[in-house]
Structure 1
């Protein structure tokens, strides 16, 4: 059975920026537009083509291929990836995602690189996916923060490397403090200009993330900025979506990290597959900046995460304490936790070891 490995509703009604530092000149935003159907399909074709060799090389070699699909009947604002044993790694996008009022071609390219990052980005993975993230799939689903980092560190530099005129124009649109991030990170003008375009797209995407987050959970709209980094520090690496400011910080870090992934391997995809382990972290270390402005921000990434050994307990199991049924979960990064059933329920495990609370007369296999 296929697993929906990631579901995001990353859209906003904000536009992009032509003058970027800590502020955005709203008067410069009117010229942005979402991609046409043909442009969206072309972007997906190009992003997928960049990494077909990674899928082909994944174990077992030659059995995986990356594909994409746009659901033109869905108005939901959705982009996600699917992994199925022995089948394609698929990026699926809804019509509503493409037509979100804040969508631009640059945001679409970046977020499709983010979706590709779930396949290719590597460690740290979404360890909570447990048994679904096995070697049989050829990869494990990268965490949300890692997918953001991959998008600007590895994917967009490959996608836009030869678009020199667009890169130069974006670099010129940055204010001096933003341009300085790129001139400090890279010594040649072409790389500086490419970095500038990625920073421009990152701020557009940060606005995109913020506005959709407010739609999902209403609060005051606070756009992420380059000069207001998230100063929080997590105790363990966060696998889900970080806050919009943290996500912008991660996109910026990827843009200025000069350490690029090489080869067709997936960084950190070593036994135990998809787990937060020392072996996985060490395998991925050469493919990311560990210190400085290009390092993954601590608002989601904690390299000193304490790992829990779940091999004896399993991912989940039924437990009974003092006559109360419950489900015990074990996650390598968040440890052991419990969910207790209501008084009229009992815990039952299905054939695939999925445990949950049911009424006594319910068969979990039906």
Structure 2
């Protein structure tokens, strides 16, 4: 059952905004710079476009070349949005380009590939968000996490402050931008028979973010690459979207 979160989606009036365009663009610039060399090695040159709408998406990387990232000015309407809440969505978009397998062909018959949705989420928490978080910010955000969530994260193997902060920010981002309730104390029990390449349920996405955060802190990539069947992730990509039979492409 989906729980709708209304308070987090309250919009400000036309006269005040939680963030400015400059705030949003500065976060994207920092994210882009952090992975600039990796993008160049893959011949990914991204043009930034500020727009009124992105086909119902707040942020989206275009398919095909030349690559564009479109950032919607609707981000300015979220009353409770902070700059740190943007790390998750910007890292997710980079994850389509840098996340690795499993891949999805951009167009039928085209040899170019992008990482599937779940893998983009996994990359966001595993490799990207932590790179953007300085230690002092980790300590500040850690104070926001409830004791129940801290316990639940430790059960999942997410023990360090950095891991827990990445999971917390991912949960907050999901609830802000989808309006759906997700829980660190639960997980998505759906089991796929083939890797699902498209957008997953909000709870499945949270499970994936937690798995990525755990993997970045204590698990090597190969372990997370091959194991998917545990109820609690401990760094493995969750079975609600991932199946190793499709590890190279789908």
Q: Distance in 1 between the 2:49 and 2:141 partners?
A: 30
The corresponding residue for 1:286 is 222
1:96 corresponds to 2:74? yes
In the alignment, what sits opposite 1:66? 46
Contact 1:75 1:97 in 2 (8 A): no
The answer for unaligned runs of 5 or more in structure 1 is: 1-11, 17-32, 135-139, 212-221, 263-284, 308-331, 334-366
Matches within 5 A, 1:200-219: 200-211=168-179
Query: 1:133-168: CA deviations, max 9, x gaps?
Result: 42xxxxx221111111111111001111x2x22211
Per the alignment, residue 245 of structure 2 pairs with: 304
Question: Which has more helix, going by share of residues?
Answer: 2
Equivalence map 1:227-238=2 (5 Å)? 227-238=185-196
Structure 2 regions of 5+ residues with no counterpart?
10-16, 228-232
Query: Higher strand share goes to which structure?
Result: 1
State the Cα deviation string for residues 192-218 of structure 1 (Å, max 9, x = none): 22222212211112213542xxxxxxx
Q: Distance in 2 between matches of 1:167 and 1:200?
A: 11
Q: How many residues align?
A: 232
Q: Give RMSD over aligned pairs.
A: 3.2
Q: Which residue of 1 aligns with 2:211?
A: 253
1:101 CA drift (Å): 5.1
Summarize the Cα distance change of 1:298–1:14 in structure 2 as closer, same or farther, 3 Å threshold. farther
Q: TM-score, normalised by structure 1?
A: 0.56
SS where residue 115 of structure 2 aligns? coil
User: Could you tell me which of 175, 190, 201 is aligned with 1:243?
Assistant: 201
Contact kept in structure 1, 2:27 and 2:87, CA below 8 Å: yes
- Matched residue SS, 1:173: coil
Give, in whole Å, the separation in 2 of the partners of 1:132 and 1:99: 38
Question: When the two structures are superposed, what TM-score results if normalisation uses the length of structure 2?
Answer: 0.78
Structure 2 equivalent of residue 152 of structure 1: 125
TM-superposition CA deviations, 1:179-198 (whole Å, max 9, x none): 343598577xxxx2222221
Q: In 2, Cα distance between the equivalents of 1:34 and 1:254?
A: 29
Question: Aligned ranges for residues 178-217 of structure 1 at < 5 Å?
Answer: 178-180=149-151, 181=153, 185=157, 192-211=160-179
SS of equivalent to 2:103: coil
Q: Which residue of 1 aligns with 2:13?
A: none
Greater Cα radius of gyration, structure 1 or 2? 1
